[in-house]
Amino acid sequence: MSTKTVLITGASGNLGRKLAQHLADRYTLRLLDRTARHADVIAADLSVWDKKWVEQFQGVDAVVHLAADPTAEVAWADLVAPNIDALINVFAAAAQTGVKRLVYASSNHVMGGYKDVAQPAKLTTDIPVKPGTHYTWEGSQPMDSIAYGGAKLFGERLGKCYADIHGLSTIAVRIGWVRGGANEAATIPANAEEWFRLMWLSNRDFGRLFERCIEADPTLPFAIVNGMSANTNMRWDIEYTHQLVGYEALDNVDQDQG
């Protein structure tokens, strides 16, 4: 059996580098990013349609779209190019070149409005969306992620559209909290809000989850899954993720990683 070719956008970022390292010995990789900070990454501004970067999608089995401005409190004006225009172009390029599977990095912020309400007790992917989380970081002014969450929701709906109209199998992953670097549970700041702490996703669980999404049933048209580690007492449902794509979380924010 020939090795699949997987294209990762945003390959120089936090998530992109972690995923590329996890998949390096499993697939043939093509790595794109607006800034090619690593020798294996091709520079491409995905917010501007260009046949040169579109050619990189030729012969690709699966695309993992991670490219975006990850700043959750960013304003709408700063989201348009990296989080909306680039998103639209990537879906169009994938459909145009015959890609079979697109795994889209959605976000927990699509459901951020549930942070301050107790019900429902379990956050599944079939309840109404509530984009945008209200929060503060160390000594900061109150912030919200309404624009960011709204843009991620748009990506989910665009994926549904491309699945229905173009037959592009799409899995949107509502990613939890993946901190930079080693991303160890023990280094999470003590003053981190429980909402964020309990959606922690370890590096190895992140890699395993996206690998399972790449390998999921090719006849699956469209799905949304939650992406967190197996954190005790979290509200996020990952049982459906397990059932749909075979994801087995290994880590727990309240236990040492193995």
CA-based end-to-end distance of the chain: 32
In the annotation, is 104 catalytic? no
Confidence (pTM): 0.97
Task: Tell me the C-alpha distance between 208 and 248, whole Å.
Answer: 8
Tens of pLDDT along the chain (258 residues)? Answer: 579 999 999 999 999 999 999 999 999 999 999 988 889 999 999 999 999 999 999 999 999 999 999 999 999 999 999 999 999 999 999 999 999 999 999 999 999 999 999 999 999 999 999 999 999 877 778 999 999 999 999 999 999 999 999 999 999 999 999 999 999 999 999 889 999 999 999 999 999 999 999 999 999 999 999 999 999 999 999 999 999 999 999 999 998 544
Catalytic entry in 148, 162, 240, 247:
148
Domains of the chain, with CATH numbers?
Answer: 5-245 (3.40.50.720)
Vertex 98 angle, CA 92 and 101, to 5°: 85
Q: Is the peptide bond before 221 cis (omega within 30 degrees of 0)?
A: no
